[in-house]
Amino acid sequence: MILRRVIDHVKAQNWTAIGIDFVIVVVGVYTAVWIEGLQRKAETSKRTTQIIETLREDLRDSARVETGFARTIDKGLAQWKVDFDAGRMPPPYFFRVPGSETPPPYTWDTLLQMGLGDLLDPPLVFELGFYYSERAGVGRKYLRYIAKVEDQILPLMRGESSVFYVADGSRLKPEFAASMDRLREWKLETRKNHEWAICLDERLNAPTEPGASCTPSWDLDRSGPEAFAIENRK
pLDDT band of residue 116 (cuts 50, 70, 90) is confident
pLDDT tens digits for range 144-164:
999 999 999 999 998 899 999
pLDDT band of residue 14 (cuts 50, 70, 90) is low
What is the residue-averaged pLDDT of the chain? 79
Nearest-angstrom CA–CA distance, 78 and 70: 12
Q: What is the mean pLDDT of residues 3-10?
A: 54
| Residue of 169 and 41 predicted with greater confidence | 169
What pLDDT score does 142 carry?
Answer: 92
Nearest-angstrom CA–CA distance, 134 and 111: 17
pLDDT at 11 over 90: no
Rounded to two decimals, what is the model's pTM? Answer: 0.71
pLDDT at 5 over 80: no
Where are the chain's structural domains? 51-229
What pLDDT score does 199 carry?
Answer: 92
How is 145-213 classified by DSSP, letter by letter? Answer: HHHHIIIIIGGGTTS-GGGGB-TTSSSB-HHHHHHHHHHHHHHHHHHHHHHHHHHHHHHTTSTTS----
For the beta carbon of residue 123, count every other beta carbon within 10 angstroms: 13
